[in-house]
Amino acid sequence: MAGPLHGIKVVEMAGIGPGPFCAMLLADMGADVLRIDRSRRPDEPPHRTPGSRFDVMGRGRRTVTVDLKKPGAAEGVLELIGHAEVLIEGFRPGVMERLGLGPEPCLTRNPALVYGRMTGWGQDGPLAMAAGHDINYIAVSGALHAIGPRAAAPVPPLNYIGDFGGGAMLLAFGVVSALVEARRSGKGQVVDAAMSDGAALLSAMMYGMRAAGFLTTERGENLLDGGAPFYSTYACADGKFVAVGAIEPQFYAELLRRCGADDPDFAVQLDRDRWPVMKEKLAAVFRTRTRAEWCSLLEGSDACFAPVLDWDEAPAHPHNVARGTFLTLDGVVQPAPAPRFSRTAPSAPKKSLVATGPEKQAALRAWGAPEEVVRQLESAGAL
Beta bridge partners of 194: 119
Dist. CA 306–CA 57, nearest whole Å: 28
Cα–Cα separations (whole angstroms), residue 352 to 62, 103, 255, 328: 6, 28, 46, 14
Give the DSSP H/E element, type plus range, for residue 354: strand 353-354
Within 10 A of 330 (CB to CB), how many other CB atoms are there? 14
CA dihedral 330→333→339→340, nearest 10 degrees, is 70
Dist. CA 142–CA 11, nearest whole Å: 34
Q: Is 271 helix (H, G, I), strand (E, B) or coil?
A: coil
Dist. CA 315–CA 301, nearest whole Å: 21
Dist. CA 66–CA 64, nearest whole Å: 6
Catalytic sites, residue numbers: 133, 163
Cα–Cα separations (whole angstroms), residue 147 to 129, 207, 221, 273, 322: 27, 15, 11, 21, 32
CA dihedral 314→316→319→325, nearest 10 degrees, is 70
